[in-house]
């Protein structure tokens, strides 16, 4: 039991990081950014290129080098997220939502197959692989790399929470989420705040991609597709548009997958996860922490 809980929390922390980007973007401009999972994939390939170009750094130690590469990758993926918003989504902000949704799918395929053309279809071996002897804690076998990666994820989520809830920029994000037009009339620079939201969400997704690549050891151009769907599922379960809901939804989905794999076998893992998504959409479509919104006419 303890092992299943730990495995679920570990995987769920990756889902939570990616789901935060989904929830932030949807909460502000009501866009389901289906290209967000591919930013996760892009983060792993950017780190792959950086580590390949500076192989001499690996002698310093895998953890310090990985943290440095993590920061660089977050900046680059954040910048790419801003560029995508500026080119693909901003011109469609007043268009029907279906147009923006189709564009998001197109951006997703563009990112995936651009990486495929550059790096090929075969999986790549990541230069850094975090390994460690497992320790038994409260009946669960836990390795030091797992603890480090979960701590990094927790720190990133804590910093984001403090930024959103206790800063001037975070206040502007929450204001736009409530009423974009009123925020504009009150002097809030809506375009800049939305760009900042894309930067933060993309940076978190890139960080998750680097951590997953370092832990699992291989990357490929389609790795963002499934985790993008899982992160969307986590955001819906927690309450899409809700910051705490995205974190909670990621952990809940990780636990559901862990127990589902134990009960039904690994081949039923995705079926179990998406089956719960259907149940949530039927019986509680607002998610665990989501609130029902009544539109005034």
Q: Is 176 domain-assigned? A: yes
Per-residue pLDDT tens over the stretch 17-62:
888 888 888 888 788 888 888 999 999 999 999 888 876 655 555 6
User: Is position 217 within any domain?
Assistant: yes
The reply to whether 86 falls in a domain is yes
Give domain status of residue 274, yes or no.
Answer: no
- Between 84 and 177, the more confident residue is 84
pLDDT score of 100 = 86
Task: Please check the confidence at residue 73 and state whether its pLDDT lies above 90.
Answer: yes
pLDDT band at 291 (very low <50, low <70, confident <90, very high): low
Helices marked H in the chain — which ranges? 2-29, 36-53, 62-84, 97-119, 144-166, 168-178, 180-185, 190-216, 223-238, 243-264, 269-283
Pairing of strands 124-125, 140-142: unpaired
Structure confidence at residue 57 (pLDDT): 59
pLDDT class for 295, splitting at 50, 70, 90?
A: very low
pLDDT value of residue 253: 87
Q: What tokens appear for 75 in the block? A: 């900046």
Tokens of 45: 């390939």
User: Is 230 part of a structural domain of the chain?
Assistant: no
Task: Sort 59 into a burial class: Cβ within 10 Å, 0-12 / 13-18 / 19+.
Answer: exposed
Comparing CA positions, the residue from 32, 19, 296 lying closest to residue 179 is 296
289 CB-near residues (< 8 Å, 6+ apart): 238, 239, 242, 244, 245, 248
Range of the domain at 168: 16-222
Distance CA 140, CA 134 (A): 9
> 280: which residues sit within 8 A by CB, 6+ positions away?
236, 237, 287
| Tens-place pLDDT, residues 141-180 | 787 778 888 888 888 888 888 888 888 888 888 888 888 8
Q: How sure is the predictor about 296, in pLDDT bands with cuts at 50, 70 and 90?
A: very low
pLDDT at 115: 93
Query: Does 290 score more than 70 pLDDT?
Result: no
Mean pLDDT of the chain: 83
pLDDT at 237 > cutoff 90: no
Answer yes or no: is 255 within a domain: no
User: What's the predicted TM-score (pTM) here?
Assistant: 0.86
> What confidence score (pLDDT) does residue 285 get?
80
Confidence of residue 81 (pLDDT cuts 50, 70, 90): very high
Window from 91-95, 147-151, 230-234, 265-269 with minimum mean pLDDT: 265-269
What is the rounded distance in angstroms from the CA atom of residue 160 to the CA atom of residue 290? 19
- Any idea which of 12-16, 17-21, 144-148, 209-213 has the lowest mean pLDDT? 144-148
User: Residues of the chain with pLDDT > 90: what percent?
Assistant: 16
**Number of domains within the chain:** 1
In a domain, 238, yes or no: no
Q: Hey, how many other C-beta atoms are within 10 angstroms of the C-beta on 93? A: 14
Q: Name the nearest CA neighbour of 221 among 14, 46, 38.
A: 38
The answer to whether position 266 is within a domain reads no
195: left (phi over 0), alpha (psi -120 to 50) or beta: alpha
Q: Greater confidence, 290 or 61? A: 290
Find tokens 């750094």 and name the residue: 57
């Amino acid at each position: 039991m303890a092992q299943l809980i730990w495995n679920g929390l570990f995987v769920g922390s990756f889902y939570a990081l990616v789901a935060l980007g989904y929830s932030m973007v949807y909460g502000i401009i009501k866009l389901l950014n289906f290209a967000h999972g591919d930013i996760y994939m892009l983060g792993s390939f950017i780190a792959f290129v950086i580590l390949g170009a500076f192989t001499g750094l690996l002698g310093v130690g895998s953890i310090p080098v990985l943290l440095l590469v993590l920061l660089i990758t977050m900046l680059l993926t954040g910048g790419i997220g801003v560029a995508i918003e500026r080119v693909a989504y901003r011109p469609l902000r007043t268009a029907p939502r279906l147009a923006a949704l189709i564009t998001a799918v197109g951006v997703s395929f563009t990112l995936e197959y651009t990486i495929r053309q550059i790096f090929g279809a075969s999986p790549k071996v990541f230069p850094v692989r975090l390994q460690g002897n497992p320790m038994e804690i409260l009946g669960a076998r836990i390795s030091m790399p797992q603890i480090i990666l979960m701590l990094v994820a927790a720190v990133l989520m804590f910093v984001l929470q403090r930024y959103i809830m206790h800063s001037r920029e975070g206040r502007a994000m929450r204001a736009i989420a409530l009423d974009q037009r009123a925020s504009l009339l009150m002097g809030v620079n809506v375009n800049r705040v939305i760009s900042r939201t894309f930067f933060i969400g993309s940076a978190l997704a890139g960080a998750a991609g680097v951590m997953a690549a370092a832990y699992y050891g291989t990357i490929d151009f389609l790795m963002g597709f499934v985790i993008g769907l899982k992160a969307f599922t986590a955001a819906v379960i927690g309450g899409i548009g809700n910051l705490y809901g995205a974190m909670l939804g990621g952990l809940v989905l990780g636990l559901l997958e862990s127990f589902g794999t134990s009960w039904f076998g690994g081949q039923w893992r995705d079926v179990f996860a998406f089956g719960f998504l259907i149940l949530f959409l039927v019986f509680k479509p607002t998610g665990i922490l989501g609130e029902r919104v009544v539109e005034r006419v």
